[in-house]
Amino acid sequence: MKISSPRGTSDILPCHIAEWHQLETTARTLFKTYGYSEIRTPVFEDTGLFKRSLGESTEVVNKQLLEIKSQRAEGASDDAGFALRPEGTAPVVRAYNQYDLGREEFLSKLFYMGPMFRGERPQKGRLREFHQIGAEAIGRGANHPLLDAEIIALCVKLLKGFGLNDFKLKINSLGSAEDKKNFANWLRAELKGKIDHLGDESKSQYERNVFRLLDSKDPACKEVINTLEIGSRHLSEAGLKYFEEVKKGLDQLGVVYEVSSHLVRGLDYYTHTVFEIAYAGLGAQDALGAGGRYNGLIEQLGGGDRRFPEQVGAMGFALGMERILLALEAQGKLVQAKRFLDVFVVAGKPEYETETFGLVHELRQGGLAADMDFGRGRAFKKQFEQANKLGARFVIILGEEELKNATVGVKNMTTGEQTIVDRKKAVEELSRQLERL
């Protein structure tokens, strides 16, 4: 019986890897421009990390957390055990605290790339194993509204660098932790009595995390939410001023955005600025990425330093790589994967294979991408077909005359031109010809 990959996961085959390389290379180059350094965290963490950071009432913890079965010690808490990471922010904050990065750095700018996991039913653009590119700016120097503007602009620039356009950026502000608390109380008061006819899920969200109702996909719930005039009534004077500075920073950088009072994001740790970028061509699962400010999470996870009275600030985002590739495909901008080889060595006869093997090694030692046919005595024509499949730019032919005269035949697979080269100068001559291409 043939075994397939687990449902909700996918293999990234060689024919598609160039698409992923494009995203990763573009991201690394741009992150370097903005002063970000890479961090790599484990793919699983203590379950308690996500319950404390994301919130017990969030969908991620209640429905999507993919926990690893392990034997629990007698008397262990409910938080014991491990879970595959559903997002990158909490692990980065955990590492920031664990290694006391704030001791040496006033502002730590970190980026990551890698797989994340969710336990819900898979659907197009929403797999159980998915990949993200993300960035986090953390530290006592991360409390400036212009940093919010810079990070949002970086996120937009990344998407444009990948070749995407026609996406929409929405931003909002939840205000301070106190503003957010007042906002939740106002929402519950406004919705009281209006949700009685809604489904059990909406009623549960009203009690557990009322903000989830603002981006509900349930038509009946959306109809109720649309009657609310939210605006910026929940923001204090300081919260309003902060958000205005963020918008001014975006305006200064020429970033086009739309203020959406219904945008809240579904994780408990967000405060002040939140944003989301979507591409309508993806259908229901249209989000390419999102992020926001999460002041307070560092202290909540055991960080902070008594020597410095100011709060450790933090702002970040994550982009879904699979979603981006789907959007690029929809816009006809996917990179076509091209397999290429500098040179393929063809043996004129089966008895020349050992000599061919040695020449391939010499070419590789000289820094050239080289290969040969390992089909044991395959016909001359079949070896050339293999060279074409591998995208070889040149083919070296080792025949009876070439071996007798200590030469090799070199064929340019693009022009068809063929020359005879001294065997000892083969690496030098091929390197020179490759430089011309």
Task: State the pLDDT at residue 375.
Answer: 92
* Positive or negative: CA dihedral 229, 190, 284, 218: negative
Q: Taking 90 as the threshold, does the pLDDT of residue 437 lie above it?
A: no
pLDDT tens profile 163-175? 999 999 999 999 9
Cβ-contact 158, 26 below 8 angstroms: yes
Which domains does the chain possess? 17-176+236-330 (3.30.930.10), 341-436 (3.40.50.800)
DSSP readout, 310-363? SPPEEEEEEEEHHHHHHHHHHTT-PPPP---EEEEEEESSGGGHHHHHHHHHHH
Q: Taking 60 as the threshold, does the pLDDT of residue 377 lie above it?
A: yes
Cβ neighbours around 128 below 10 Å, total: 19
∠ CA(345), CA(434), CA(25), 5° rounding?
Answer: 105
Task: State the pLDDT at residue 76.
Answer: 45
∠ CA(179), CA(183), CA(188), 5° rounding?
Answer: 155
∠ CA(17), CA(21), CA(22), 5° rounding?
Answer: 120
Cα 16 to chain center, whole Å? Answer: 16
Quote the CA–CA distance of 263 and 255 in Å, as a whole number: 18
- Percent with pLDDT over 90 in the chain: 63
Gyration radius of the chain's alpha carbons: 28
pLDDT tens profile 286-326? 999 999 999 888 888 888 766 665 678 999 999 999 999 99
